[in-house]
Amino acid sequence: MAPLITFDEALELGELTEHDDILALIERAWEARQERFGDSTDLCSLVNAKSGGCAEDCGFCAQSRYAEADTPMHAMMEPDQILEHAQAAEAAGAHRFCMVTQGQGLSKRDFERIVEGAKLVSEHTNLKRCVSIGHISPTRAKTLKEAGVQRVHHNVESARSYYPEVSTTVRYEGRLRTLDAISEAGLESCVGGILNLGESRRQRVEMAFELSEIDPTSVPINLLNPRAGTKFGDRELMDPWEVVKWVAIFRLIIPGALFRLCGGRVENLGDLQPLAVKAGLNGVMMGNFLTTLGAEPADDRAMFEGLGLKVARQPDNGANPRPDNRDGWLEGSAPATPIDELIDSQADANFWDPSTQLRVIKKKGKPPSYPPRPSEAEHEKQPAGWGD
């Protein structure tokens, strides 16, 4: 779907600082959201199924071997453990569940565990299934689809022009090839990035227009939660009004995507989280993030309900990967799906919990320095980790 504003308009909106002007922008974004999605929502949750000790150099990530931060580790989860965390996400009211692993790609054995985990989640919950497992080949994409996975997450992280500052070992071109494999297999894509890595306002706009070109089903935006000892660990949090402004601008540039806020939303937005929903979100990530803690399920549901949006479980979660598109939804025929027996607090279910499940390992000696920005030609080479 074409952007509702031009590149230059987006740049101008990016300069807004007065709260009244930002509120007017938010009203515009809210109308754009309502027109396309009505009162539907798309709430997700994740499990960090394999963490830490990653060979790559993504500058925001504490799992990188280049970070001076302690390493948040755990080995690849067993499929039934993945299912337990999925059941907690379902109890909280999440519509979909993402199985996430570190690194550019999985070994054959770890990939098989993800496939088995996805099958269990398909069989035993009413959740839609997503994975985020680094680069995947066309063959693996097909295998995931056959296992019941509906959507694959693979971020571009930042504007293409800024990307070499973010990672040199995970190539942007490789990301695009993975997105092609996802689309060829008939899977939905979830593609976004992180704001506040040091990119300029222009580069934020570039990123939004690049996402519009990629045209993913879902766009997750993270807000840097600076981790001490990482490349971007000394950056300040964003001003919450800046965040809501950029949420609204992204919504106007990518009006047809399911747009959600994920990591860093609690720390960067504080009390302005409901205003971010008004600025055009379809959902948030419920429960906890990969290595940091999130919000309580009842508070997240209340943010959406406060704006008259439906957060109820959807009875066809397993069959219809994108319920907002089903016939009749926008004409007011959303099925009656009463919320029963949803939990309010994370303490009431076996959520993925990085504060207890990650083993924090001190690095032995000084980690290697982050590699310098590569040349353009170097950056476009065939990605590593492309095998089956």
Could you give the residue ranges of the DSSP H alpha helices within 153-239?
Answer: 163-166, 172-184, 201-214
Nearer to ligand SF4, 256 or 263 (CB): 263
Nearer to ligand SF4, 64 or 158 (CB): 64
Q: Does 170 bind ligand SF4 (CB under 6 A)?
A: yes
Q: Does 346 bind ligand SF4 (CB under 6 A)?
A: no
Nearer to ligand SF4, 124 or 373 (CB): 373
- Looking at residue 334, the DSSP 8-state letter turns out to be -
Least CB distance to ligand SF4 at residue 52 (A):
8
Of the candidate residues 93, 103, 255, 323, the single one contacting ligand SF4 (CB under 6 A): 103
Least CB distance to ligand SF4 at residue 30 (A):
32
Least CB distance to ligand SF4 at residue 162 (A):
16
Q: How far is CA 2 from CA 31, 148, 211, 236, 244, in A?
A: 16, 30, 11, 33, 22
Q: Does 165 bind ligand SF4 (CB under 6 A)?
A: no
* CA 264 – CA 272 distance, rounded (Å): 13
Q: Does 158 bind ligand SF4 (CB under 6 A)?
A: no
Least CB distance to ligand SF4 at residue 54 (A):
3
Least CB distance to ligand SF4 at residue 57 (A):
7
Binding residues for ligand SF4, total number by CB under 6 A: 10
- Contact region with ligand SF4 (CB under 6 A), list: 17-25, 56-64, 71-79, 182-190: 56-64
Q: Does 104 bind ligand SF4 (CB under 6 A)?
A: yes
In Å, how far from its chain's centre is CA 205?
18
Asked if residues 258 and 36 have their Cβ atoms less than 8 Å apart, the reply is no
Least CB distance to ligand SF4 at residue 66 (A):
8
- Contact region with ligand SF4 (CB under 6 A), list: 58-66, 81-89, 224-232, 349-357: 58-66
Asked if residues 78 and 322 have their Cβ atoms less than 8 Å apart, the reply is no
Q: Does 230 bind ligand SF4 (CB under 6 A)?
A: no
Structure token digits, residue 126: 């009413």
Nearest to 129 by CA among 101, 154, 98, 85: 98
- Contact region with ligand SF4 (CB under 6 A), list: 38-46, 98-106, 218-226, 261-269: 98-106
Asked if residues 285 and 295 have their Cβ atoms less than 8 Å apart, the reply is no
Least CB distance to ligand SF4 at residue 103 (A):
5
* C-beta contacts of 367-372 below 8 A and 24+ residues apart: 367/65, 367/66, 367/67, 367/68, 368/65, 368/66, 369/66, 370/57, 370/59, 370/66, 370/168, 370/231, 371/57, 371/66, 371/168, 371/169, 372/168
| 3-state SS, residue 137 | coil
| 3-state SS, residue 375 | coil
Q: What pairing do the DSSP bridges indicate for beta strands 283-286 and 258-261?
A: parallel
- Contact region with ligand SF4 (CB under 6 A), list: 1-9, 100-108, 244-252, 347-355: 100-108
Q: Does 114 bind ligand SF4 (CB under 6 A)?
A: no
Q: Does 102 bind ligand SF4 (CB under 6 A)?
A: yes
Q: Does 72 bind ligand SF4 (CB under 6 A)?
A: no
Structure token digits, residue 99: 């199985």
Least CB distance to ligand SF4 at residue 224 (A):
13
Q: Does 291 bind ligand SF4 (CB under 6 A)?
A: no
Nearest to 33 by CA among 264, 256, 299: 256
Nearer to ligand SF4, 63 or 317 (CB): 63
Nearer to ligand SF4, 133 or 279 (CB): 133
Q: Does 46 bind ligand SF4 (CB under 6 A)?
A: no
| 3-state SS, residue 2 | coil
In Å, how far from its chain's centre is CA 51?
16
Q: Does 64 bind ligand SF4 (CB under 6 A)?
A: yes
Of the candidate residues 42, 56, 110, 300, the single one contacting ligand SF4 (CB under 6 A): 56
The residue with tokens 């009211």 is 93
Would you tell me which residues interact with ligand SF4 (CB under 6 A)?
54, 56, 58, 61, 63-64, 102-104, 170
